A and B are shown apart, each in its own frame.
Chain A
């Protein structure tokens, strides 16, 4: 941690709860500029929620989320929309607009945020589609795409404005090995080529370890470990070991809390 000085996002003392349930307590996290940072943790720890907090779609109960000097939770709606034009987000389902073609989907942020002439928009869109290898699919509707292709189109849309930050929400979930390989490759290549800060939320250990420069392990509402992939692999704490090696039982118990097994069986109806 000490060797990284330059942060894009600085989250301090973040608390967030949904109804009675507390999701984050005093979360601190610093995301280095221009690197691929992964946020990992068991399902249900609010990783996607964290991305929504960074994107300003949810408001925290307390704490600061500083993005290049702006404190996201205190921004006005107009400022927030301006900040968001510097963010790209790849949603779990792709979230392509179903009533537009692939081309129009990718062109959408350009049309909204810029006054570029039509032929320039066309060039930019084709470049981005070429980068994800789907220039040939520009005329298709999202319903005609496979899951992996839809995610690549969504990726092209996320980077079309050349954002400073790209957030990936579970990019590898539900993909076949080939599509997964393509995506892993794409995320790394794009990050290197465009130099943006990437944040990946995932629980696919192998793929994520393969491309992340830095990893935060989140569980129970706060960061339980952080470091480079190598550091985390070598970590000796029980919780980290269970997650990194996918052990079925450990601090995160296999059994949902229940009464005594034998007693319940014997009790009958």
Chain B
């Protein structure tokens, strides 16, 4: 019994100290005195790695998810005689939920794990230490550009995901299932509101970008600098980031679309 209590206390303390370390990492990265001339090329490079290279997976999965939504929506709605509403269903589910959430999950798998592995490897090969010894703050040079890149890229990727998803849905509904094009778009435009739906979805993806990159960068920086430690940290990034995204999604949805 006492042993269990001790284990619980141990886990609690570990969690608290991890929270503290990650918070201090975040503070350091954000407060790090900005040096635009140094920072900008680094940021550009990270946006390339984190954003541009994630584009293919986002485009492909966005299109397919939109198409699936179109098909599924049609088969359900047609039994109520309101298959015209498939456009609004596709658009609302993409813009509000699937766009931000699925993009964040894919992003955690594609870019988050790569960030963790890269930073972890830098730590294992003493690159972070040697940078410190040269007199360069790794928070500013390594962590901050990666953090901002993730923060910037996820909303962009989510917007692209939703757009190609709607396009995929339109492709299936209009060209294959023969829904009248006018009512497809009119229904969609009538029920999707820019501020309530599109902007709220964007806010969600900003929050997710923040959390996913934070988890990824922290796991990389805090990992045990061995090959085993790095692989564990990479796994943890994907698992923790996904859990955070799903949990936060519920809270954000409740705040944005719930009636309180």
**Residues in A lying within 8 Å of B, measured CB to CB:** 52, 55, 57, 77, 81-82, 84-85, 87-89, 91-93, 95-98, 108-109, 112-113, 154, 157
Cβ distance B189 to chain A, nearest Cβ, rounded Å: 46
Residue numbers of B with Cβ under 8 A of A are 121-122, 125-127, 129-137
Could you list 30 examples of A-B contacts with CB < 8 Å? A52-B129, A57-B129, A57-B132, A77-B137, A81-B135, A84-B132, A84-B133, A85-B134, A85-B135, A88-B133, A89-B130, A91-B129, A91-B130, A92-B126, A93-B126, A95-B125, A95-B127, A95-B129, A95-B130, A97-B127, A97-B131, A98-B121, A98-B122, A98-B125, A108-B134, A108-B136, A109-B134, A112-B134, A112-B136, A154-B130
Tell me if B's interface is mostly helix, strand, loop or mixed.
helix
- A154 proximity list for chain B (CB < 8 A): 130
Closest 9 CB pairs of A and B: A95-B130, A95-B126, A84-B135, A91-B126, A81-B135, A89-B133, A85-B135, A109-B134, A95-B127
Chain A nearest CB from B28 CB (Å) reads 10
B220: min CB distance to chain A, Å = 14
Q: Residues of B contacting A109 with CB < 8 Å?
A: 134-135
Complex: A88 Cα to B133 Cα, angstroms: 7
Whole-angstrom distance from the CB of A7 to the nearest CB of chain B? 21
Contacts of B134 in A (CB 8 A): 84-85, 108-109, 112, 157
Give the tally of cross-chain contacts (CB within 8 A).
49
| Chain B residues, Cβ within 8 Å of A87 | 133
Cβ-defined contact, B126 with A113, below 8 A = no
Cα distance, A154 to B129, chains bound together (Å) = 13
Question: How close is A59's CB to chain B, nearest CB, in angstroms?
Answer: 13
List residues of chain B with CB within 8 A of the CB of A108.
134, 136
Chain A residues near B130 (CB-CB < 8 A): 89, 91, 95, 154
Q: How far is the CB of A141 from chain B (nearest CB, A)?
A: 14
| Closest Cβ neighbor of A108 among chain B residues | B134
Give the complex CA separation of A55 and B130 in angstroms. 10
| CA A91 to CA B122, docked complex, whole Å | 13
Task: State the CA gap A135–B126 with chains docked (Å).
Answer: 24
CB-nearest residue of chain B to A86: B135
A84 to B131, CA, bound (A): 10
- Alpha-carbon gap, A92 to B133, bound state (A): 14
Q: How far is the CB of A234 from chain B (nearest CB, A)?
A: 36
Bound Cα distance A157, B127 (Å): 13
Q: How far is the CB of B13 from chain A (nearest CB, A)?
A: 13
Closest to A83 in B: B135
Nearest chain-B residue to A91 (Cβ)?
Answer: B126
Hey, which chain B residues are within 8 Å of A93, CB to CB? 125-126
Q: Which among B129, B132, B133 has the highest number of chain A CB atoms within 10 Å?
A: B133
